[in-house]
Amino acid sequence: MNPYLLCWVVTCLCANTVTADTRDRSFDADWRFLRGDVPDAQTQDFDDTAWRTLDVPHDWSIEDLDTPESIGPFSKESPGGASTGHVLGGMAWYRKHFILSEEDTGKQVALRFDGVYMDSEVWLNGRSLGQHPYGYTPFAFDLTPLLKPAGQTNVVAVRVRNLGKNSRWYSGSGIYRHVWLTVTDAVHIPLWGVFVTTPQASDTSASVHLAIDLANTGRQSVETSISTTLVSPDGKSVATITTQQTIAAHTEIPLKQTVILPSPKLWSLETPHLYEAVTEVRVRDTVMDRLVTPFGIRTIEFSAREGFKLNGQPVWLRGACVHHDNGPLGAAALDRAEVRRVEILKANGFNAIRTSHNPPSPAFLDACDRLGVLVIDEIFDHWKIAKNPQDYHRFFEAWWETDLTAMIHRDRNHPSVVLWSIGNEINERVEDEGLAITRQLCDAVQRLDPTRPTTESLCEFWERKNRSWPDTARAFELLDVAGYNYQWKQYEPDHTLYPDRIMVGSESFPREALENWQQVEQHPYVIGDFVWTGMDYLGESAIGHASVDNEPENGLLPWPWYVAYCGDIDICGHKKPQSYYRDVVWRQSPLEMAVHCPIPEGHTEIVSRWGWPDEVRHWTWPGQQGKAMQVHVYTRYPKVRLELNGRVMGTQSVSEDTKLTATFSVPYEPGTLRAVGMIDDQVVSSVTFQTTGQAVALRLTPDRSTIEAGRNDLAYVTVEIVDEHGSVVPHGISKVHFEITGPGELAAVANA
């Protein structure tokens, strides 16, 4: 195969065409005209010379709007409002001109999109290739029948319609994942045509099975030789198998190959070893196609008696639910941004991710494979009953099988993926129609990939008064693993009724981290807990915001909130106080401390169910001298002592009964605040906060000192206000202007 990444010419619909330098990613457009259309933009001879040149992935919804009713890309006119982070969708057209060379004459040419949000239609040379409604699944078209001869210009046109209220979260808009042009010979391996499984694997031996699809679009039957070479993680060829096969004209056939591999290197969380299966198709010693398929050798087992096992070893899933956006980059799935999210989550203790509530990008799963993170790969947030008027429910009946097949075919070789999820909080989940859909989806998953179990996330029946939790039994009995959203109190009573049910906390509240984890540690039938959320995201604005009682009610807050603010990690990638508490819950840190921000006199704090108290990790409070400050110490030590400037402020016992928390009231004075953990009255650990000095400088810290010369690589630069000793001044305020010179691009700027 010969894949090319494509760049595109784009215009967002506006009253007048816009010309911009090809290096400029921003342009002026009147977003009030985004609901319009471009007549004849799909045709071959449409004049697009005034449209600007653009690289994909991109996300048009993060373009500055520059209207009285907007701030940056955020608008009060957003149909989705707080749910989608106050961004605008609309309609846009893309056009791409390309010319095939003489050597491509007679070959198969396909165009693949990794993700377009949403309801897209694609044309080639004025002829429609088809539409693709869902915004999160990949799709491809065969261009071959409509291509111009070599040397002549072909034009691809794409229309994207992100209209109305169609999402419960920030979706982004446009071609936000990669696009690929693939050229193959008539005899070739079709898209996602190799499936590698390792049904038996141990330290001494592994059975590697390959299911290979072989296509012949030519006019004659041919004799082929299909060879697969396994390449070890250190780059050495360790096994080869060859199969001879005759394939008739205009046919596609399945092949199977099996290799027994001695002393394999197993894929695990600690050692995520990756092999490659290099498959070559030859006709008369000429290589017609070559496909490299990364895979991992590992086994997975699920049971109510022994929990989840990876390579025969029990694993508790320390899970994070994540949305697909990349914060200030919007939904644009730049490779480095996708990898960085996985790196941050793993570095903060998460060993599993639930892709809520849609398939992620290929780059995200590649990162999970390389870094050793397990994945629940989820397909739908709704089926036939709407959650929003213009959402995917309009297309579900006609498209569910296409989209489910695309997700599983694309993702089935990722060793990180251990569960397929068919839905989240589906409205019709226990109704007769919903149960029939559940059977359809589960049967399709089993047919497409019998090596992994199926799950679905169910919640309480807040939308149906005539239903209660026991009704979930009808749905759970159809699933391999039962996903419980915010229902840890149901684990033990449900286990009494259904002792063979395997349960997972598919969503949980941050403040119930201990209760959920106690269930995991105590009961093998509860295989893990996935917090909502591992990382902050755009949309569902401020559901995690802690407010005081004179602010709006809990739930989605109005303008100008954009971020959910419920994550353990903030939207810039930094650790929040709730994540330090989780470290103690997970036994990954012995002792942590936080200080609650002062609450105005006469008011009380309101914390949403997805939120966390307004606390921070510092001891710098100008203007609070002598006022009582609330200090929380989190630990599994039996006793903690709090000291201020060497004086003992108090000693408390700590246990799971106190939620691993000791709370002290301390009159503020600058200096050193120190918490110590004790066993048998002996100090064994401590954590210290030191009051900082005056702000004197800005400090810029890049996460990487060297990056590749390409738009898919990024350096994230943290800007901090520091004192003369280099300590961060938490209340420092400075207006900062960002500018970059040289061969680089300022992709985005944000705070958390």
pLDDT digits (tens, 9 = 90+) for 582-597: 999 999 999 999 999 9
The CA distance from 338 to 628, in Å, is 43
Residue 581 phi, psi (nearest 5): -65, -45
Whether the per-residue pLDDT at 700 is higher than 60: the answer is yes
pLDDT at 23: 26
Per-residue model confidence (pLDDT) at position 333 = 97
Residue 550: predicted pLDDT:
64
Strands (E) in 34-117, as ranges, are 52-54, 70-71, 74-75, 90-99, 108-113
Considering the entire predicted model, what is its pTM? Answer: 0.94
3-class DSSP assignment, residue 104: helix
Residues whose CB falls within 8 Å of the CB of residue 296, separated by 6 or more in sequence, listed in order: 198, 266, 267, 272, 273, 274, 275, 369, 415, 416
Q: How confident is the model at residue 96 (pLDDT cuts 50, 70, 90)?
A: very high
Confidence of residue 35 (pLDDT cuts 50, 70, 90): very low
- Amino acid 34: pLDDT: 41
pLDDT at 305 over 90: yes
- For 213-266, what is each residue's pLDDT tens digit? 999 999 999 999 999 999 999 999 999 999 999 999 999 999 999 999 999 999
Q: Are 496 and 502 in contact (CB under 8 A)?
A: no
Cis link prior to 49 (omega < 30° from 0)? no
What count of other Cβ atoms lies within 10 Å of the Cβ of residue 734?
10
Amino acid identity of residue 663, one-letter, is: T
90 or 296: which leads in pLDDT? 296
Q: How far apart are CA 410 and CA 279, in angstroms?
A: 17
Sorting pLDDT into bands at 50, 70 and 90, what band is 63? confident
pLDDT of residue 11: 43
Asked whether residue 8 carries a pLDDT value surpassing 70, the answer given is no
Q: Is the pLDDT of residue 463 over 60?
A: yes
Mean pLDDT to the nearest integer, 497-517? 98
Q: Is the pLDDT of residue 20 over 70?
A: no
Question: Which pLDDT belongs to residue 554?
Answer: 46
Q: What is the pLDDT of residue 19?
A: 25
Which pLDDT belongs to residue 36?
53
Average pLDDT rounded to a whole number, residues 66-73 = 88
pLDDT band at 499 (very low <50, low <70, confident <90, very high): very high
pLDDT of residue 64: 87
Arithmetic mean of pLDDT, 722-733: 94
Rounded distance, CA 158 to CA 109, Å? Answer: 17
Top pLDDT among 554 and 172 is at 172
Element (H, E) at 639: strand 639-644
The pLDDT > 90 percentage for the chain reads 86
Gap between the Cα atoms of 414 and 293, Å rounded? 10
H/E element, 347: helix 335-347
Answer yes or no: is pLDDT of 27 > 80: no
Interatomic CA distance for residues 318 and 517, integer angstroms: 9
Is pLDDT at 3 greater than 50 in this prediction? no
The rounded distance, in Å, linking the Cα atoms of 553 and 556 is 8
- What is the dihedral sign for C-alpha 19, 24, 30, 34? positive
What gap in Å lies between CA 29 and CA 17, rounded to an integer? 9
- Predicted pLDDT of residue 65: 85
Q: Which residues contact 414 (CB under 8 A, 6 or more apart)?
A: 365, 366, 368, 369, 375
Tokens found for residue 650:
């108090």
pLDDT for position 602: 85
CB-based contact 370:353 (threshold 8 Å): no
Category of 197 on φ-ψ map: left (φ > 0), alpha (ψ -120 to 50) or beta = beta
Q: Where are the beta strands (DSSP E) in 78-178?
A: 90-99, 108-113, 120-124, 127-132, 139-142, 153-162
% of the chain exceeding 70 in pLDDT = 94
Q: State pLDDT tens for residues 120-160.
A: 999 999 999 999 999 999 999 999 999 999 999 999 999 99
Residue 556: predicted pLDDT: 58
pLDDT of 360 higher than 60: yes
- Is residue 161 pLDDT above 90, yes or no? yes
Per-residue confidence (pLDDT) for residue 534, from 0 to 100: 98
Active site residues: 425, 507
Query: Has residue 532 got a pLDDT over 60?
Result: yes
Q: Is the pLDDT of residue 321 over 70?
A: yes
**pLDDT over 60 at 10, yes or no:** no
Which tokens sit at 151?
């040397």
Q: Assign 50 a pLDDT band (cuts: 50, 70, 90).
A: confident
Is residue 61 within 8 Å of residue 11, measured between CB atoms? Answer: no
Q: Where do runs of H (alpha helix) occur along 372-512?
A: 396-411, 432-448, 473-476, 491-497
Q: What is the per-residue pLDDT for 552?
A: 53
Question: Looking at residue 557, what is its pLDDT?
Answer: 63
- The β-bridge relationship of strands 546-548 and 605-607 is antiparallel
Taking only the tens place, the pLDDT of each residue in 253-298 is 999 999 999 999 999 999 999 999 999 999 999 999 999 999 999 9
Strands 222-231 and 251-262: unpaired
Q: How confident is the model at residue 97 (pLDDT cuts 50, 70, 90)?
A: very high
Calculate the average pLDDT of the chain: 93
